Chains A and B, each alone.
Chain A
Amino acid sequence: MLNIVHPGELKPADIYRQARTVASKTSRSGDADWYRAPEELTCQWHIWFDGGREVVSATFSRENCRWRPGPELQLANLTTGERVKEILGEFFSTKHFDTKPKSLGVILHVADEFGLSEIVDIGDGALEGGDDFGVLRYNLMDEPLEVLADRDVSIESTSWRLLPFWGALPGQSRSVAVAMSRTRETFLKTLMNCGEEMRMPIRVAVTSAPVEAFAGLPLAHPELAGGCLVVMPYSKQTAVFALSPEGELRVARSLGHRGGSLTPAGFGDILWNMAVGAELAGGEHAGKPKVLLVSANAKALETAAEELEMFSMSRQALECEILDLTTLPALAEVPGHLLEFLSYDAAALEKVRSGVAQLAATDTFSAFWQGWAHQNYMDIARLDMLYPTRNDFKLLRLARWLLTLLVLALLGTGGYGTWSLLAAMNHPSWHLTQEDVQQAKASNTKLLNEQKQIQRTEKLMLPRSRGWVTMEFLLQLFPEDSGVRVDSYNYVLDTARPAPSAARGKAPEPEFSGLIRSWQIKGLVKPKAMELLSGINSQRGVSAFFEQLATATGDDSYRPDPDRQITVSLTQGRNSRYDPQASIGDLARDPVMAYPFNFEITISQTLTDKDVLALPVAKPYGT
């Protein structure tokens, strides 16, 4: 069994630990019945006793509103708490309920005492409405000594609950405290502990049987309108309630029995005085006061009736009415024909509410049926404080879900991290060292440098101007016996860009330099070669010649290209030394005399810096 310590005695961390223990070791977190009042549970066990030898035990199923006899119980068991487990075991058969109960509400209807204590006089008009009764009710439960007129009482052995007089006369007490000794709590606590062990909610209540019986009066006597004294004789005392003509409770009294008598001493006088005090007899209210005797105890009824009859004949006339509960059809099925039990039957109450019972419409009985009649004299709330509330369990569940969510997120993230790490470690990139990278970089730089050197050297070494081809140029231009005599032949190769120093600082240095080649030929020409000169003195002619030369020598620098510009400049004139009459001897001495014309031709070829034969500006390699 769980050892529950009051949370007020624990440190916060221990309180939290205890809450978790309760949540895991009991069914409290998942079963709402642990937090319901016993009369709200489906399966109820009602125990009634009035101090006599008989203990009435009944079970009530709210599901089908059915009363059955309960397990047998001895009066001694209520004090000692013996046989509790054995009795509880009986509930798991179908003898008392149709199905095995999942929870049990145990209500102890105490009829052997009905002590009334005065409430401290707060002042006229201080307690007027229902809300004030509500405040007073809870004050009486929490701080009874502040509310009771007699403060010389023990709160350890007695508990009090408020009984309001909704129909009290002005100047009279508007409420009274019903006192109940706490001697039977041991039995109920034992029941609760057994429930804890069995993980079955057992909710308990101790109620005042006379108040409950009075609350059930409209169910037993629907025709009753009010203006009477309701007398309820029990074995050890008689409870008397004065009903105003409007049907409201005006005053209540508890009359103790002496020497084993079933009626109190001076019963008739007391009732007469009470009727007068409640303005139900005497003065303006002439006539016989009405007295209604209500009980399921035939002997008690008979004794009381006899005594009142004698009083009526000898002293003051009383109009007595007897209500023998054993004869009522409504209580035929109720074990012990107890009126106290009837107010727990919601169907019966509803029937009365919608019926003709005049009392049902009064404030008194409306309030009774709303809970005032079923006030629990055992402070269950104080016991419940030992345990976490339903909201606490919700909070615990929320915390667990949140924690689970966070742990899952943590695991997910951790898992993803681990997977990422493993994936990264299995990737070749993880094993790549800085040395490998540097080595590859160095190798790349070296190879790129080598490639650049190779390209530059290749480019530099290209045949772009050769002497033997330049001489072949002349031979191809003027073949032998073409009628041309060349006196001078000049060839110049120059670059087509300014010197690097001139362009420095203005623009990025070009990679290549274009070239300009020029051929200048001076000489003499016979008329038959004039056509040859004319042919070369045109773009088409000079291009055809360059193409022919390139093919003949295999030198691609002469190959015509749209980007390669070729220009020709030809000047012709008469040869002053030409002698058409010159003899062969003269011509042998001076061949110049055989040529009538002189000429000068200049051919230029420009190769741009984009040309394949353009000169690389940078060094091929080295410093």
Chain B
Amino acid sequence: MSAYTQPIIRFGLVTPAAFNLLILVGVLSAVNKLEQVRLQKEEIYRDHTMRQNANRKLESDNAPKRPVFEGQKKLLATDPGQVFTRLLDSILPKYKEIELQRGSLIFPLDRGRLGKAVKADLARVKTSFSGGYGPMQETLYQVESMLPQAVLEDLKITRKAHLLTQREHLVIEVTHTCWKAVEEGRK
């Protein structure tokens, strides 16, 4: 080993190697960090792109249904009791008393059989009529056409004879459950 050997090892080999390795480790660490950031950003971008595609598909699905949905929302926002009364008031005058006559119109406060199973808001309308089968069916057709949110919960038809004339007529009791829904912020 000459007088040059140790200084060459120290300054020519060890120091530059250590310095370079240090920088190399730093650069590798930075590259690794950059790679992580890049992968993370690309993953976010991939998710974002997929989400945008999903949004476009959702939009294309929802857009044609939106007018119907808006109409349904309007229907569900109305008070079915009032609508029911107004409809009957407009339909029943067309019939003679013997053909169809409204007995009672009540709005039960309990949720009924359907209401127990679901969480949707609802209103029940219980009406009784006396008269013939045909007018009754026609009236129900008209009311239910105007109130698609109404579901027939029960129907009871019994044959009765008039006390004085002994003439037979039908007593019809109808209970409807009408769905209600109000958007947030519109209550």
Contacts and interface: CB of A to CB of B under 8 A. Distances in A.
Interface of A: 7-8, 12-13, 15-16, 18-20, 385, 388-389, 391-392, 395-396, 398-400, 402-403, 406-407, 409-410, 413-414, 416-417, 420-421, 423-424, 427-430, 432, 436-437, 440-441, 443-444, 447-448, 450-451, 453-454, 457-458, 460-461, 463-468, 470-472, 474-475, 486-495, 497, 499-500, 513, 589, 615-623
Q: Is the interface of B mostly helix, strand, loop or mixed?
A: helix
Interface in B147-183: 148-149, 151-159, 166, 174, 176, 179, 181-183
Interface string B12-56: 110011001101100110110011011001101110100110110
Contact of A467 (B23, B149, B155): B155
A424 B34 contact: yes
B52 to A, nearest CB: 6
A620 B182 CA distance: 9
A617 B34 contact: no
Is the interface on chain B under 10, 10 to 19, 20 to 34, or 35 or more residues? Answer: 35 or more
A513 to B, nearest CB: 4
B181 A392 contact: no
Given A403-B16, A432-B44, A457 B181 contact: yes
Contacts of A472: 137
A500 B51 contact: no
B181 A620 contact: yes
A471 B143 CA distance: 14
Contacts of A7: 2-4, 7
A406 B17 contact: yes
A617 B122 CA distance: 12
A90 B34 CA distance: 67
Given A436-B48, A491-B156, A618-B120, 7 more contacts: A403-B16, A407-B20, A440-B52, A461-B179, A615-B118, A616-B118, A622-B187
A467 B152 contact: yes
Q: Which 8 A-B pairs have the closest CB atoms?
A: A429-B45, A495-B117, A467-B140, A7-B3, A399-B12, A16-B11, A406-B20, A468-B141
Nearest to B116: A499
Contacts of B3: 7-8, 15, 385
Interface string B93-121: 00000000000000000000110111111
Given A461-B148, A461-B179, A471 B137 contact: yes
A391 B52 contact: no
Given A12-B6, A447-B62, A461-B72, A500 B119 contact: yes
B13 A395 contact: yes
A447 B46 CA distance: 19
B60 to A, nearest CB: 10
Contact of B2 (A388, A617, A621): A388
Given A424-B38, A467-B144, A615 B117 contact: yes
Nearest to B41: A429
B119 A618 contact: yes
Nearest to A488: B158
Nearest to A447: B58
B140 A395 contact: no
